[in-house]
A = this chain, B = another copy of it.
Amino acid sequence: MGGMQSFMALADPTRRRILEMLAGGQLAAGEIAGRFEVSAPAISQHLKVLRQTHLVRVRAEAQRRIYELDPRGLDELESWVARLRSFWSGRLDELERQLRKENSNRRRRKKR
Contact of A16 among B4, B69, B91 (CB under 8 A): B4
Q: Is A100 interfacial (CB 8 A cutoff)?
A: no
Whether, in the assembled complex, A48 has its beta carbon less than 8 Å from a beta carbon of chain B, the answer is: no
Q: Are A24 and B69 in contact (CB under 8 A)?
A: no
Contact of A77 among B23, B71, B81, B88 (CB under 8 A): B81
Which of A5-13, A30-38, A101-109 lines the interface with chain B?
A: A5-13
A19 to B13 CA separation, bound complex (whole angstroms): 22
Contact partners of A84 in chain B: CB under 8 A: 19-20, 23, 69, 74
A25 close to chain B: CB less than 8 A: yes
**Does A97 count as interface, using CB distance less than 8 angstroms?**
no
A11 & B7 in contact (Cβ 8 Å cutoff): yes
26 pairs from A and B in contact (CB 8 Å cutoff): A1-B20, A4-B10, A4-B16, A7-B7, A7-B10, A7-B11, A7-B16, A8-B11, A10-B11, A19-B84, A20-B84, A23-B87, A23-B88, A25-B91, A69-B84, A69-B88, A71-B88, A74-B81, A74-B85, A74-B88, A77-B77, A77-B81, A78-B81, A78-B82, A78-B85, A81-B81
